[in-house]
Amino acid sequence: MRLCTLASGSSGNSLFVETRGARVLIDAGISPRQLKSRLETIGVDMSEIDCILVTHEHTDHVAALKYVDIPVYIASPTVHLWKDEVKIIREFDSGRPFFIKDMCVIPFSIPHDGIEPVGFRLETEGIKIGVVTDIGCVTNLVRERLSGLDALLLEFNHDEDMLIAGPYPWDLKQRIKGRLGHLSNREAAELLGYVIHEGLKCVVLAHLSEVNNTPELAQEAALSTLMGREHNHIRLSIAPQRRLGEVIEL
């Protein structure tokens, strides 16, 4: 399995995931031109993408949907939003697995201020990855779906002190901090501590705020979880906001 973030943050989100038989995008929140260009950088043509899996309906995750001619998998409660815009719609139900060729896709509900936001667990040939961004708090279901993974892409959105002291209006700060907002570095590190195990090879720190976080603070929080646990084998990668991230092979 191979994965690479094409963009990750409030300016746009998209993740490329490849198995032996399938190539998919999770979200397409940047322009079609940027999608095409960044995929070509890693040797993939847009025509080779089998489908797009959508986490939720916010613009920074769906901006390119109406411009593509490939199947778009959308949670059933949000399909009505796209009937007149997306050319090829496939519905899925949260909690019900489905297959894209040799990739088993397991969507699961997450707390966020959308209609039916989901995370994804993807499995193929014994390899398992989890993808969770835009999540306000951690539930037992989230912990369960992110257990036993080989790789995890997880939101480390904000540093709590930076958010409180920062320039955002108070109502937006409350939204970000709330149970339907975004995970802080501390909260993400606590979740990482819960799901960490010997088989976890890589953690991608994703959806970092450009205003309320820094890569150094996010990495420091993740490392604080790894220290003293004899998990020095785990590779940490930071997903950039506006460019390709690291190509990770499992």
Q: Is 247 part of any domain?
A: no
Find where tokens 């993974």 sit.
149
pTM reported for the whole predicted model: 0.96
Number of domains in the chain: 1
H helices within the chain, ranges in order? 32-41, 59-62, 140-145, 160-165, 170-177, 185-195, 215-226
CATH of the domain at 105: 3.60.15.10
Cβ proximity of 182 and 211 under 8 Å: no
Q: Is 181 part of any domain?
A: yes
Cβ proximity of 1 and 19 under 8 Å: yes
Domain with 168 in it = 2-240
CA distance 26 to 4: 11
Instruction: Give the amino acid at 229.
Output: R
Q: Is 246 part of any domain?
A: no
CA distance 133 to 148: 18
Find where tokens 């009505």 sit.
80
Q: Is 182 part of any domain?
A: yes
Cα-to-chain-centroid distance, residue 9: 10
Residue pLDDT tens, the chain, 250 long: 999 999 999 999 999 999 999 999 999 999 999 999 999 999 999 999 999 999 999 999 999 999 999 999 999 999 999 988 999 999 999 999 999 999 999 999 999 999 999 999 999 999 999 999 999 999 999 999 999 999 999 999 999 999 999 999 999 999 999 999 999 999 999 999 999 999 999 999 999 999 999 999 999 999 999 886 666 689 999 999 999 999 999 9
Q: Is 249 part of any domain?
A: no
CA distances from 211 to 8, 10, 11, 112, 164 (A): 14, 10, 12, 20, 11
- Dihedral sign, Cα of residue 116, residue 147, residue 4, residue 234: positive
Cβ proximity of 189 and 225 under 8 Å: yes
